[in-house]
Chains A and B, each alone.
Chain A
Amino acid sequence: MEKESFLKRYGLLVITGLVVGAAAVLLTAFGNPANMGFCIACFLRDIAGALNLQRAGFDAEQGAGIVQYVRPEIIGLVLGSTAVAFAKKEFRPKGGSSPMTRFIVAVFVMIGALVFLGCPLRMVIRIGGGDLNAVVGLAGFACGILIGIAFLKNGFSLRRAYRQSMAEGLIFPGLMAVLLVLSLTMSDLFLSSKSGPGSMRAPVLLALAAALVVGVLAQRSRLCMVGGIRDAVLFRDFRLLSAFAAILVAVFVGNLALNKFNLGFAGQPIAHSEWLWNLLGMVLVGWGSVLLGGCPLRQLILAGEGNTDSAVTVTGYIVGAAIAHNFGLASSATGIGTGPVALAVVGGFVVLAVISAVNLQKLEG
C-alpha cells in the first residue's frame, strides 16, 4: 500500500492556513476591524447592511448605520473559488439537497455567530489575538460539533443533490461579480458606514486580492473550520485540523510581531465577556454547520464551485444577519443584544433538534 507523504497530506492545508492567518493580520493592519481580518459572518452582515437589509446603529446625521459595507473579501473568496474550479474542471453545478432546510439552519447559524460576534474563522483569529472569550466560544463550537456528529453517525443527511444547469450554477458567482462592479462604479447605490466596524476597511484592491488568493487556496485544500474537529472525531483524520492550527499560529505570530497581542477577557476588540452567550452562540454555530456540511467560509467556496445549496445557505446567512440586527439579537462590545436573545438561541436549538431528528435515514452501504 502506498503511503501518502506527510507533505502531500498536510502541506497544502498548512500553507492555506498560514496564508489565511497572515492575510487576516495584514488586512487588519491596513484598516479592517481588530481581530476581524477575515470574518465571514461579520462581512456578510456588512453586505446585508450595505443592501439596507439592516441598519444597526443608524445615525441620521451620517445617513448610515455602523455595519454597512460591500465587503470585497466575500466577493473575492467566491470568485477565487470559481476561477480555480473552472481551471481544474471542478465547476459542477449541483443542488436540490433540502434547500429550504439549509436556509433555515443558515439563519440560526448566523444568529449564533452574531451572539458570539464571529464565525468559526474569526473565533480562531480572536484566539490568536489573545481574546480568551473566544476560547469559551471554541468550547461551545466543539460541543455543537459533537452534537452534530452524534446525528451524522445515526444517519443524518439532507439527502442527495442533483446536477443543475450551468446557468443555475453561475447565478451566485455572477451576482457576486455584479455586486463588485456596482460597488466599484456606482458606490452611491449602497449604504456605507461612516463610523463603527463597517467604516474600518482595508483598501478595496488589497482586500480583493487577498481574498482571491485565499479563495483559490481554500478551494484547492477544501479548508473548513468545522471539518477540522468533525473529521478528527469521526475518522481520526487531522488534516483539516492542521489548517485550523496553522491559522492560529500565523495570527498569533503576526499579532506578536505587530505588538497587538493582548491576552485577557476584558476590553477585547468587538467582543463581549458574557461567557454563557459566547458559549451557546457557538454551540448553535457548530451544530448547525455540521448539519450544513461546512463552515461559512466553506459554504462561500462551494457556492463559488456552482453548488446552489451552498448559495442558498449563504443567502440564509445574509437574511439571518438582517434578522439578528433588526430584532436586537446581535451582540456588541457592550454585551448581548437588547432583543429576545435567549428566545432566539433556545428556539434555534429546538429548530436544529427537530431538523436533526426528522432527517435521520438509513443510508445504504
Chain B
Amino acid sequence: MVDARGYSCPTPVIMVQKAVKNGSPKKLEVAVDNQCSVENVKRFARNAGYQVQLSDFEGDFKLTLTK
C-alpha cells in the first residue's frame, strides 16, 4: 500500500508513478487525504491503464488500482 496521506500534489502521483514503474503491479492500493490528490492519482492511474475504485479509509480516501 502506498500511503500518501499528508502529502500534497504532485508527491502522491510521483509515489504512485514510482510504484508502477517498479514492477508494474496488477493491484495497488493508495491512501490519500485530499480530494485533489484523489483526482490526480485517479487520472494518472487511468492513463497508465488501471481501473480505479475509491473507498473510505480511516476517514480518508483509498484508491484501489487494478489491471
Contacts and interface: CB of A to CB of B under 8 A. Distances in A.
Given A4-B46, A97-B6, A364-B3, A157 B33 contact: no
A152 B35 contact: no
Q: How large is the interface on A (under 10, 10 to 19, 20 to 34, 35 or more residues)?
A: 20 to 34
A364 B15 contact: yes
Interface string A85-100: 0001010101001000
Interface string A136-175: 0000000000000000110001011111000000000000
Contacts of B44: 235, 237
Interface in A60-116: 88, 90, 92, 94, 97
Contacts of A260: none
A2 B18 CA distance: 23
A153 B49 CA distance: 22
Contacts of B6: 94, 97, 159-162
Contacts of B54: none
Interface string B36-61: 10010001101001010000000000
A363 B8 contact: no
A175 to B, nearest CB: 22
Contacts of A92: 33-34
A365 interface: yes
B18 A157 contact: no
Contacts of B16: 365
A55 interface: no
A4 B18 CA distance: 23
Nearest to A363: B15
Contacts of B11: 152, 157, 293, 363
A293 B3 contact: no
B43 A4 contact: yes
A346 B13 CA distance: 32
Given A1-B49, A4-B43, A97 B8 contact: yes
Contact of A363 (B14, B35, B36, B43): B14
Interface of B: 2-11, 13-19, 33-36, 39, 43-44, 46, 49, 51
Smallest CB-CB A-B distances: 5 pairs: A160-B6, A365-B15, A365-B2, A365-B19, A161-B6
17 contacts: A1-B46, A1-B49, A1-B51, A92-B33, A94-B6, A159-B6, A161-B6, A161-B7, A163-B33, A222-B39, A234-B13, A293-B9, A293-B11, A363-B15, A365-B2, A365-B16, A365-B19
